Structure 1
Amino acid sequence: MSDLALFAARLLIGALLIGGAVQKITSPAGAGGLLVDAGLPFALIWPALVYDALAGLALWLGVAVRPVAASAAAYCALTSFFHLNVFLTTGDPWQMTIFVKNWAIAGGCLALAVAGSGAWALRADAR
């Protein structure tokens, strides 16, 4: 049962990252506009897109799950402060929701970083 739960966790967190990549590639103006409004360069959207896509695929496939999940936890924690800043400057309540959501996802990523891939992985982590 734990292998199934780890597989489901990888799929769900990976889907969130892949979804972020798809959103950035199909509508870069949305996320890019938020970056520019925060005084950051629009071009930061492209490395974020690449990271989202590669990390999501790695989790889906079960490749390097521990380091990828640890990096995703840090990525979610770091980007949460961006959303907190947008909330504080605009008052947009959706940004506070994203801030809290990112911390919850970081927690799930940390759990994956500790537990590893489970057995259902292209390259399962050692137990």
Structure 2
Amino acid sequence: MTRADRALLVAARLLIAALFLGGAVQKALSPAGTQELLAMRGLPLWLIWPALGYNAAAGLALVLGLALRPVALSLAAYCAATSVFHLQPDDPWQMTIFVKNWAISGGCLALAVAVRPARPG
């Protein structure tokens, strides 16, 4: 991997991390929107707190370069799973977020492939 490739990979990690760290801050400062999505699905409102913790921990792991492959894979699954909260065909904004979640999931899968250790030989 070239120096430029490594720099691009760091930039990708930081950009993805910013999304999840921002999500954690948003959940902390303005939980009502997320809690509304939980309530719409009949889920307990306290689930916002583990989601906030996961967003913060995963984002920080990306920034620090810790456990990148498992974190990226778990983020891909998280984005796919949480996309269902935004599957609201009558709301164009929520549908945009639904599609973006799948795109972010794809980016996390690509990150997981990019950060795996090189095979010898």
Quick check: TM above 0.5? yes
Question: Number of matched residues?
Answer: 115
Please list every run of 5 or more consecutive structure 2 residues that lacks an aligned counterpart in the other structure: none
Cα deviation, 1:18-73, whole Å, max 9, x if unaligned, reads 00000000011121122112211101101100000000000011000000000000
TM-score by length of 2: 0.91
C-alpha deviation, 1:75, in angstroms: 0.2
* Higher RCO (Cα < 8 Å, 6 or more apart): 1
**Superposition map of 1:76-87 within 5 A:** 76-84=79-87, 87=88
29, 43, 46: which one pairs with 2:46? Answer: 43
In 2: Cα distance, 1:37 partner to 1:111 partner = 32
Amino acid in structure 1 at the alignment position of 2:117: A
Equivalent residues in 2 for 1:110-121, closer than 5 Å: 110-116=109-115
* Equivalent position SS for 1:63: coil
**Of 119, 123, 126, which residue of structure 1 is paired with 2:117?**
126
Structure 1 equivalent of residue 16 of structure 2: 13
Out of 58, 62, 69, the position equivalent to 2:61 is: 58
2:31 corresponds to: 28
Give, as a single letter, the amino acid of the residue that structure 2 aligns with 1:13.
I
Sequence identity percentage: 68
Q: Which amino acid aligns with 2:100?
A: K
Give the deviation of 1:17 after TM superposition: 0.3
Distance 1:92 1:22 in 2: 24
TM-score (norm 1): 0.87
